[in-house]
Amino acid sequence: MARTSRLLTLLQILRGKRLPVTAGTLAAELCVSERTLYRDIAELVAQGAPIYGEAGVGYVLRPGLFLPPLMLSEDETEAIVLGLRYVDQRGDPVLSQAAKEALAKIEAVLPPSGRETAQYPVAFPGPVMSSFPDNPVELKAYRAAIRAQGKLRIDYRDLAGKSSTRVIWPIALGFMDHVRVLAAWCELRQDFRHFRTDLIAAAQETGERYPGRRNTLLKAWREARESERGKRPDPTTPIE
């Protein structure tokens, strides 16, 4: 295996490990000596890879952005650029700005050929068909609640025009072509629901965290959506 390919493979192996892995294990997976493995680790660290190692424990890849030259193929670059431009078009101001900044960072670390692919891509997102309805509550309030696993009390007017007050456990924001929705567990319905953000008149923190972990709740939400795929043409969680 060429060294460049080996370095990328080493990064992929570390990405897939949640716990530290020893040099001997890594060397065996790559079919190289431990001495070669140590040199490869040193090279990746020198290029900026956030790899942490401790004698007798092993190596682990810390969270953080690391996109060295040659890491992305043309197709991978196309996919990332397409996704970021889609977010720029359809995201709220926070995500739109983040997409621009992320694309600039990626272009800065790409080699010349990759930079040309990013600046002159083959694929483009389609035009936004319509503007989004105004949100009475800024989306940053939902982001904060999701990250803090905090319950929200919302005043909501459903699609039939009926108003209600709900206590929900927000888990994700959805960006559709025409509307934005907040996915959550609804204490009133005792089930997952999607709430259109333009129909939420007010949202207040209750001061309580919902039980368990958000990741567990998010997994249950995904499984619930999957189970609905064979039951009706539209597999999405009901929008209130």
- Rounded Cα–Cα distance for residues 22 and 156 (Å): 53
Which residues share a beta bridge with 21?
Answer: 59
Dihedral sign from CA coordinates of 85, 89, 94, 95? negative
pTM: 0.64
Tens-place pLDDT, residues 56-69: 789 998 876 555 55
Residue 129: phi and psi, rounded to 5, are -70, -30
- Give the chain's domains with CATH numbers: 3-61 (1.10.10.10), 74-119 (no CATH), 139-228 (2.30.30)
Write down the mean pLDDT value for the chain.
Answer: 86
Tens-place pLDDT, residues 78-119: 899 999 998 988 888 899 999 998 888 788 777 787 788 888
Tens-place pLDDT, residues 124-141: 888 776 678 888 999 999
- Rounded Cα–Cα distance for residues 145 and 147 (Å): 6
